[in-house]
Amino acid sequence: MTAMRPNGWGDPAQALVLPEPVRELLTQLLSLRPRDTRPVEIDRIPLPDPVLPAGLVEKLAGVVGPAGVHTGPSQRLRHTRGKSTVDLLRMRRGDATDAPDAVVCPGSHDEVLAVLSLCGQQRVAVVPFGGGTSVVGGLTPARSGFAGVVALDLSRLDRLTTVDPVSRTAELEAGVTGPAAERLLGEHGFTLGHYPQSFEFATIGGFAATRSSGQFSLAYGRFDEMVVGLRVATPSGTVSLGRAPRSAAGPDLRQLFLGSEGTLGVITAVTVAIRPLPPGRQVKAWRFASFDDGVAALRAVVQSDGPRPTMARLSDETETAVNAALEGRSAEPGCQLMVGYEGGADVHELLSTMGGHVVADGGAENWEASRFRAPYLRDALLDEGVLVETVETATFWSSLPALRTAVIDALTTSLSADGTPPIVLCHVSHAYPTGGALYFTVACAQTDDPVAQWTRAKHAATEAILASGGTVTHHHAVGVDHAEGLAEEIGPLGLDVLRAVKARLDPAGILNPGVLGL
Spatial distance between the Cα atoms of 56 and 102, rounded to a whole number of angstroms: 10
pLDDT at 1 over 80: no
Exposed, middle or buried by CB within 10 Å (0-12, 13-18, 19+), for 91?
buried
Q: What is the mean pLDDT of residues 311-326?
A: 91
Q: What is the mean pLDDT of residues 311-331?
A: 88
Domain at 35-156+507-517, CATH class:
alpha beta
Residues ≥6 apart with Cβ < 8 Å to 478: 136, 138, 259, 261, 472, 485, 486, 515, 516, 517
Spatial distance between the Cα atoms of 286 and 338, rounded to a whole number of angstroms: 6
* pLDDT interval class at 517 (50, 70, 90): very high
Task: Identify the H or E element spanning 424.
Answer: strand 423-431
pTM to 2 decimals?
Answer: 0.95
Instruction: Quote the percentage of the chain above a pLDDT of 70.
Output: 99
Confidence at residue 305, expressed as pLDDT on a 0 to 100 scale: 87
Nearest to 37 by CA among 476, 489, 383, 331: 383
CA 514 to chain centre: 18
Q: Decide if 35-156+507-517 and 281-467 have a common fold.
A: no
CA 145 to chain centre: 29
What DSSP state is assigned to residue 423?
A: E
Q: What is the mean pLDDT of residues 257-280?
A: 96
Q: Which CATH architecture has domain 160-276?
A: 2-Layer Sandwich (3.30)
Give the model confidence (pLDDT) of 467-495 as tens digits. Answer: 999 999 999 999 999 999 999 999 999 99
Residue with more model confidence, 34 or 324? 324
Average pLDDT, the chain: 94
Spatial distance between the Cα atoms of 62 and 69, rounded to a whole number of angstroms: 10
57: amino acid identity, one letter:
V
What stretches of 212-290 show up as alpha helix (H) in DSSP? 217-220, 223-226, 254-257
Quick count: other Cβ atoms within 10 Å of Cβ 147? 16
* pLDDT interval class at 344 (50, 70, 90): low
What contacts 24+ positions apart, CB below 8 Å, involve 172-175?
172/204, 172/269, 172/270, 172/271, 172/272, 173/204, 173/205, 173/268, 173/269, 174/130, 174/203, 174/204, 174/205, 174/206, 174/208, 174/266, 174/267, 174/268, 174/269, 174/270, 175/130, 175/203, 175/204, 175/205
Spatial distance between the Cα atoms of 103 and 110, rounded to a whole number of angstroms: 17
The end-to-end CA distance of the chain, in Å, is 28
Spatial distance between the Cα atoms of 504 and 300, rounded to a whole number of angstroms: 46
pLDDT at 49 over 70: yes
Contact 231, 268 (CB under 8 A): yes
Spatial distance between the Cα atoms of 412 and 457, rounded to a whole number of angstroms: 8
Spatial distance between the Cα atoms of 347 and 49, rounded to a whole number of angstroms: 59
What stretches of 130-222 show up as alpha helix (H) in DSSP? 178-186, 204-209, 217-220
Exposed, middle or buried by CB within 10 Å (0-12, 13-18, 19+), for 32?
middle
Residues ≥6 apart with Cβ < 8 Å to 195: 178, 214, 215, 216, 371
Instruction: List 518's β-bridge partners, or say none.
Output: none
Q: Beta 149-153 vs 102-104: how paired, if at all? A: parallel
Spatial distance between the Cα atoms of 448 and 266, rounded to a whole number of angstroms: 39
CA 471 to chain centre: 15
Spatial distance between the Cα atoms of 142 and 152, rounded to a whole number of angstroms: 16
Confidence at residue 419, expressed as pLDDT on a 0 to 100 scale: 96
Q: What is the mean pLDDT of residues 62-91?
A: 96
Multiple choice CATH, 281-467, 3.40.50.2300, 3.40.710.10, 3.40.50.10800, 3.40.462.40: 3.40.462.40
Q: Which of 76-80, 197-201, 210-214, 281-285 has the lowest mean pLDDT?
A: 281-285
Contact 420, 29 (CB under 8 A): no
Q: What are the boundaries of each domain within the chain?
A: 35-156+507-517, 160-276, 281-467
